[in-house]
């Protein structure tokens, strides 16, 4: 702290509040020397200029809901929270865009769009706490990727402060803009290692005029795959979510507060399908016809269709319950792998078996955005405060490597997955990432040690 410009002291909080000492990852809290809470882009630029000059480590923070340790502060460094840089700056109906400050909570953006008959499609369980700057920095996915894409697909313009304090402002609203390198892409998914996002121009969609959902029970994974093909074909562009929950997940979710099963019996798979259309009559009838055909073809064993928006919400509660698992399970490890959709149950079975065999007492449960090829799994040893993280991760990631999948579908690399990045990326790709990091942050002061090291350690140290 003493080495920072005294003019910046006014922006610093010391001691650092408890909540800024960690994110939602399962890592230990840290003690940064100070917390900065800038109000403007100029404040952020001044902090980074001073940090660059003095060689001070800075870790940017949004809503702190990340699961990979990307926003966890670093001992001896400072944390920089965007929590004061919030609010909607502009809604442009003709362009169908919203310009916001990076610290704005996701739910605030969703509601601001809705008030104008528009829709911001990014949605995830932590919507009330997470900030859009963090969502974009981690290229968050969530519940409706199958229809609208990841955070990356929803960003048109960006303002970002580089590690040396340079401000890049390009609040572009245009869909089409082929003018050289698309620089904003560098910062999307970089987890705050290349720059600090301060403002964003987001792409909006029309507010859906009719939303329907169903929870369906299936007897086999083949039936789930048939359902997915039928949903793509029968619902077309209306298909807005295809979530699958295995019984090990489902049985825990039913213990969460306010959650109950819309189905009477037990099934090998529980599927949540959502359709977003424009017309209650036409799209409701289409959804019903689609479900009837599934029944007639024997693809599903049982099903419940929503009759109202409150039913849709109640169905989603079975899936949103994942956010409450910390209270239900105690300490556990959370994973977000991706692979080919057809092999997901095979992966789940292999993982469940090997975790039980190789990690004494280890339990696991499976669910996720199966329509996007993204499986979530939680693994834990009951009653164990210190989870055998390395042993569990080794099993989960070695199998994903054998399946040719990705170690992170949507939560990012941060610290927790960094040792396994080479399972999903080639040495050439890792080397280029390290060169990009070194070029933008030559002093290694912005969120160092997250995602990728620059320079890259020698190959033999890299696993």
**Cβ within 8 Å of residue 423, ≥6 positions away:** 397, 398, 400, 401, 407
Question: Using the rule CB under 6 A, is 125 a contact of ligand LAC?
Answer: yes
Considering only residues 28-87, where is the footprint of ligand LAC by CB under 6 A?
none
Spatial contact of 189 and 139, defined as CB atoms under 8 Å apart: yes
CB of residue 327 vs ligand LAC: minimum separation in angstroms?
A: 15
Nearer to ligand LAC, 377 or 451 (CB): 377
Find the binder of ligand LAC among 322, 378, 446, 452 (CB under 6 A).
322
Q: Does 330 bind ligand LAC (CB under 6 A)?
A: no
- List the Cα angle 316/319/324 in 5-degree steps: 115
Per-residue 3-state assignment (H helix, E strand, C coil) for 197-242: EEEEEEECEECCCEEEEEEEEECCHHHHHHHHHHHHHHHHHHEEEE
332 binds ligand LAC, rule: CB under 6 A: no
Residue nearest to ligand LAC (CB): 322
Q: Three-state SS for 60?
A: strand
- The single residue among 124, 312, 413, 456 that binds ligand LAC, judged by CB under 6 A, is 124
In the complex, minimum distance from the CB of residue 186 to ligand LAC, in angstroms, rounded to a whole number: 24
**Whose Cβ is closer to ligand LAC: residue 283's or residue 410's?**
410
> Count H helices, E strands: the chain?
13, 18
CB 274 to ligand LAC: min, Å: 14
* Residue choice 376, 417, 437, 450 for contact with ligand LAC (CB under 6 A): 376
Report the alpha-carbon distance of residue 385 to residue 331 in Å, rounded: 6
Q: x/- string (CB under 6 A) for ligand LAC, residues 391-430?
A: -------------------x--------------------
Alpha-carbon distance of 434 to 181, in angstroms, equals 19
DSSP state of 78: E
In whole angstroms, the minimum distance from the beta carbon of 410 to ligand LAC comes to 6
Query: From CA 77, how far away is CA 13, in angstroms rounded?
Result: 13
User: Could you give the string, one character per residue 190-229, with x where binding to ligand LAC holds by CB under 6 A and - elsewhere?
Assistant: ----------------------------------------
* Cβ atoms 236, 301 nearer than 8 A: no
Q: Which is nearer to ligand LAC, 125 or 331 (CB)?
A: 125
Task: Decide whether 277 or 368 has the Cβ nearer to ligand LAC.
Answer: 368
- The residue count for binding ligand LAC (CB under 6 A) is 6
Output the DSSP codes for 361-426: T-EEEEEEEGGGTEEEEEEE-TT-SS--HHHHHHHHHHHHHHTT-BS-SSS--TTTTGGGGGGTS-
β-bridge partners, 317: none
Positions that interact with ligand LAC (CB under 6 A): 124-125, 322, 336, 376, 410
């Amino acid at each position: 702290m003493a080495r920072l410009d005294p003019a910046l002291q006014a922006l610093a909080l010391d001691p650092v509040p408890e909540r800024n000492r960690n994110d939602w990852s399962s890592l230990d809290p840290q003690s940064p020397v100070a917390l900065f809470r800038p109000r403007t882009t100029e404040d952020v630029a001044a902090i980074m200029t001073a940090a660059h000059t003095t060689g001070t480590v800075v870790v940017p923070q949004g809503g702190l809901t990340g699961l990979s340790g990307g926003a966890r502060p670093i001992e001896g460094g400072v944390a920089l929270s965007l929590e004061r840089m919030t609010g909607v700056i502009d809604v442009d109906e003709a362009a169908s865009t919203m310009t916001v400050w990076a610290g704005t909570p996701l739910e605030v953006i969703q509601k601001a769009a809705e008030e104008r008959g528009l829709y911001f499609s990014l949605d995830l369980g932590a919507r009330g706490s997470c900030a859009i700057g963090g969502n974009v920095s981690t290229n968050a996915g969530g519940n409706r990727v199958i229809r609208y894409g990841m955070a990356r697909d929803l960003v048109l313009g960006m303002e970002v402060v580089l590690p040396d304090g340079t401000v890049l402002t390009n609040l572009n609203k245009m869909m089409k803009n082929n003018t050289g390198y698309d620089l904003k892409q560098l910062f999307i998914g970089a987890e705050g290692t290349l720059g600090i996002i301060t403002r964003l121009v987001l792409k909006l969609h029309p507010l859906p005029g009719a939303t329907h959902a169903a929870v369906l029970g299936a007897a086999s994974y083949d039936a789930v795959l048939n359902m997915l093909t039928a949903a793509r074909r029968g619902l077309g562009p209306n298909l807005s979510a295809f979530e699958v929950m295995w019984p090990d997940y489902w049985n825990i979710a039913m213990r969460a507060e306010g959650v109950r099963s819309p189905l009477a019996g037990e099934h090998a798979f529980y599927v949540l399908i959502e359709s977003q259309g424009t017309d209650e009559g036409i799209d409701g009838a289409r959804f019903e016809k689609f479900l009837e055909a599934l029944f007639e073809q024997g693809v599903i064993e049982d099903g419940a269709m929503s009759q109202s928006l409150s039913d849709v919400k109640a169905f989603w509660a079975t899936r949103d319950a994942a956010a409450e698992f910390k209270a239900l399970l105690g300490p556990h490890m959370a994973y977000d792998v991706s692979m080919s959709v057809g092999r997901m149950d095979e992966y789940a079975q292999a993982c469940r078996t090997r975790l039980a065999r190789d990690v004494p007492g280890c339990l696991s449960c499976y669910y996720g955005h199966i329509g996007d090829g993204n499986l979530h799994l939680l693994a834990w040893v009951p009653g164990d405060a210190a989870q055998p993280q390395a042993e569990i991760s080794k099993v989960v990631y070695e199998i994903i490597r054998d399946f040719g999948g990705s170690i992170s579908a949507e939560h990012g690399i941060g610290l927790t997955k960094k040792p396994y990045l080479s399972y999903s990326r080639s040495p050439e790709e890792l080397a280029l990432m390290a060169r990009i990091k070194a070029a933008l942050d030559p002093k290694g002061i912005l969120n160092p040690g997250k995602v990728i090291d620059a320079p890259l350690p020698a190959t033999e140290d890299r696993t």
